[in-house]
């Protein structure tokens, strides 16, 4: 792992700077291009949620999977979590902790009616991406001389990611008829979507790790990841101040 203020900065040449700027601009464009790709809910899906009544297991499983696969904030965090994990056992442990975290607060938030400001929650989710990038860069050990418990951090941030999912569902008047079964189905769909997205990420990561460019650009990739997290954080805080 490259330390944050190590010779990695020396390797951050003009080409890396252009790559960073390109990735940041592409991410910003993606974030603002379509509500379906954001952490929100697509218009057709929103209409279904408002009109559905009774137990609708398959549609809610589909919506949960779709939301996770298109939720770039969750995917960015997962990308950071597995960036330096090479053994499937380790990947399984961290992903399981994340799944437990977001499942608990998703179910609790919706079924208990606990409301949390969505802008603050999504800002914390952006912060989770920044945290993971800094962790990958060795910043905390370099700055403070300590290494935070990475497993505990993934679990804790998983709680916030789950509340982020819950706040989106709380925007709609969901029918009480079949609500528990439907939310459980949605959560199952989220886990399916997470596995699908994680599988695609791992395939690409394993392919990339076989080339010399992985070591050469690991530092730059985590700087890009951190930048994306700061963009998410700033975007949500701006929304909070505008709408509060």
Considering only residues 12 and 148, tell me which one the structure prediction assigns the higher pLDDT: 148
> If pLDDT is split at 50, 70 and 90, which confidence band does 2 have?
very low
Q: Is the per-residue pLDDT at 162 higher than 70?
A: yes
Provide the pLDDT for residue 67: 84
Alpha helices for 52-117 (secondary structure H): 57-69, 72-82, 88-112
Query: What Rg value do the Cα atoms of the chain yield, rounded?
Result: 18
Average pLDDT over residues 40-55: 73
Provide the pLDDT for residue 151: 95
Considering only residues 50 and 97, tell me which one the structure prediction assigns the higher pLDDT: 97
Average pLDDT over residues 17-28: 51
Provide the pLDDT for residue 14: 47
d(CA 133, CA 42): 29
Provide the pLDDT for residue 35: 43
Residue 213 burial (10 A CB sphere; 0-12, 13-18, 19+): exposed
d(CA 195, CA 172): 26
Provide the pLDDT for residue 16: 52
Considering only residues 31 and 185, tell me which one the structure prediction assigns the higher pLDDT: 185
> If pLDDT is split at 50, 70 and 90, which confidence band does 23 have?
low
Structure tokens belonging to residue 136:
């990958």
> If pLDDT is split at 50, 70 and 90, which confidence band does 41 have?
low
Coil, helix or strand at residue 31 = helix
pLDDT single digits (tens) 181-226 = 989 999 999 999 999 999 999 998 888 888 888 888 888 889 989 9
What is the pLDDT of the chain when averaged over all its residues? Answer: 82
């Amino acid at each position: 792992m490259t330390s944050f203020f190590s010779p990695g900065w020396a390797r951050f040449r003009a080409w890396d700077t252009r790559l960073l700027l390109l990735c940041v601009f592409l991410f910003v464009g993606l974030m603002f291009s379509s509500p379906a790709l954001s952490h929100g809910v697509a218009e057709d899906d929103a209409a279904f949620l408002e009109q559905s009544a009774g137990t609708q297991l398959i549609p809610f499983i589909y919506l949960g999977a779709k939301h996770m696969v298109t939720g770039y904030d969750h995917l960015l965090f997962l990308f950071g979590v597995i960036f330096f994990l090479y053994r499937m056992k380790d990947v399984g442990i961290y992903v399981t902790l994340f799944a437990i975290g977001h499942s608990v607060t998703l179910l609790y938030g919706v079924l208990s009616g606990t409301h949390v400001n969505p802008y603050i929650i999504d800002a914390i989710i952006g912060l989770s991406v920044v945290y993971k990038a800094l962790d990958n860069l060795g910043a905390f050990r370099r700055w403070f001389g300590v290494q935070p418990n990475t497993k505990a951090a993934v679990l804790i941030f998983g709680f916030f990611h789950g509340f982020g999912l819950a706040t989106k569902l709380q925007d709609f008047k969901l029918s009480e008829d079949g609500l528990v079964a439907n939310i459980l189905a949605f959560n199952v769909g989220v886990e399916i979507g997470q596995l699908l997205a994680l599988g695609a990420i791992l395939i690409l990561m394993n392919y990339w790790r076989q080339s010399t460019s992985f070591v050469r650009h690991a530092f730059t990739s985590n700087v890009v990841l951190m930048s994306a997290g700061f963009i998410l954080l700033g975007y949500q805080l701006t929304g909070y101040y505008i709408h509060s």
